Amino acid sequence: MRALSPLIVAAALSAASVCPALAQERAMSAAPSFERLVKAPSPKTPATAPAPLAEAYDALLKNQYAKARALAEPLAAKGDAAAHHLLGYLYEKGLGVRPDIAAALRHYGDAAIAGNADAQVALGLLAFEGGGVYPDYERAAGWFRLAAAQGDPRADVRLGIMYAEGVGVGKSPVAAAHHFAKAAGRGDADGAFYLGLSFLNGDGLPQSYEKAAESFADAAAKGHGEAAYHLALLCESPALGAPDTDKAAALMRQAAEAGFAPAFAAMGLIVHRGDAKGLAADWFEMGARAGDAQAAFLYAVALSEGDGREKDVGAAIAILERLLAAPETSEPLKAQARALKKTIAQRTNGPLTLRN
């Protein structure tokens, strides 16, 4: 393990306002968003499905969409709610048929009215996102309430997010935490994650790092990458007592391997300071490929220094230029990118171009 280069150290320290892994006081919990939740529930074979319906679901899972539709249509004609939901799913996603939101809404509607929770959640998501027409947040909340009343944790999670953000309902952190707790109690990983955020930030619940950690651990055990990331931050901080760097490194690796983009930069920094084996540049590169701006910046630092990679100033500059041109890059990170470009220019003793 080579010594940390001064530029890497400076970048890491100044990244506290940009990289969540280095700033415990930063909102480790970005505002909950529908973006990270699935767009619509994927059909699952009902436990008591009759043979033809079970065969239809089996065909769907095998990507035999025409067969699934042929099997489901006669069942739907007889009023089978699960068959209607399956057909709605095919039409919404355009699987074996041309996408037809009107047909999807018709089938989902028949299923939802008959009490199918999958269809109620699907209709809630379509109403929230516009469903090809326009968003109707109050209608979305209504469908989610119906599904939640049947014990569907996905609906509770979505209702919780709506209450947390005050979208379609009156903003209420207490109501949000209530729905997250219901979902978590039914074994839902997203519910446990958002419940952890409620405890972490004291939103609707008394702030408790210990209870936040318990909820994040519950979600992480179910494969929730973002929960593993937040738990790693807690383990690295003094919030739970003496920092546990080994546990933090293991959890951050889990978060990165689950595909949570900010974890790549954090894992690279953990490796670079010597708390985990490997090459920091590998993690920075993977994070850059995953679209994480902080990881991309740190990869540019590594390339400009020849730290873990062959020195390649041109590639570093190309990355910095992309960061500076991207509207989604934060201003603090753009400032870092400009500073790094200036440092590289001073080293090259002349005008900075991709050629040099």
Closest CA to 344 of 310, 309, 305: 305
Tokens of 70: 């042929």
φ/ψ (deg, to 5) at 228: -60, -40
The pTM of this model reads 0.82
pLDDT at residue number 317: 94
Q: What average pLDDT is seen over the chain? A: 86
Q: In this predicted model, what pLDDT tens digit does every residue of 122-132 receive, in sequence order? A: 999 999 988 76
Query: Out of 27-41, 123-137, 149-163, which region has the weakest mean confidence (pLDDT)?
Result: 27-41
H helices within 62-136, ranges in order? Answer: 65-77, 81-93, 101-113, 117-129
Task: Give percent of the chain with pLDDT exceeding 70.
Answer: 83
Query: Is the pLDDT assigned to residue 298 strictly greater than 70?
Result: yes
| pLDDT of 39 strictly over 70 | no
Neighbours of 259 (CB within 10 A): 11
Half-sphere exposure of 153 (CA within 13 A, CB side): 16
Region 339-348: what's the mean pLDDT?
Answer: 87
Least confident of 1-5, 39-43, 134-138, 305-309: 1-5
CA 214 – CA 239 distance, rounded (Å): 13
* pLDDT value of residue 42: 56
Residue 25 predicted with pLDDT over 50: no
Written as one letter, the residue type at 86 is L
Give the integer Cα–Cα distance in Å for 275 and 11.
Answer: 18
Q: Are 3 and 317 in contact (CB under 8 A)?
A: no
Cβ(197)–Cβ(36) under 8 Å?
A: no
Q: CA-CA distance, 107 to 94, in Å (whole number)?
A: 14
Give CA–CA dist 104/186, Å, rounded. Answer: 29
User: Within 10 Å of residue 51's Cβ, how many Cβ atoms?
Assistant: 8
Percent of the chain past pLDDT 90, that is, above it, reads 77
Q: Which domains does the chain have, with CATH numbers?
A: 1-24+262-356 (1.25.40), 29-171 (1.25.40.10)
Q: What is the 8-class DSSP label of residue 242?
A: S
Closest-CA residue to 42 (of 80, 76, 89, 94): 89
pLDDT tens digit sequence for 160-200: 999 999 999 999 999 999 999 999 999 999 999 999 999 99
Confidence at residue 347, expressed as pLDDT on a 0 to 100 scale:
81
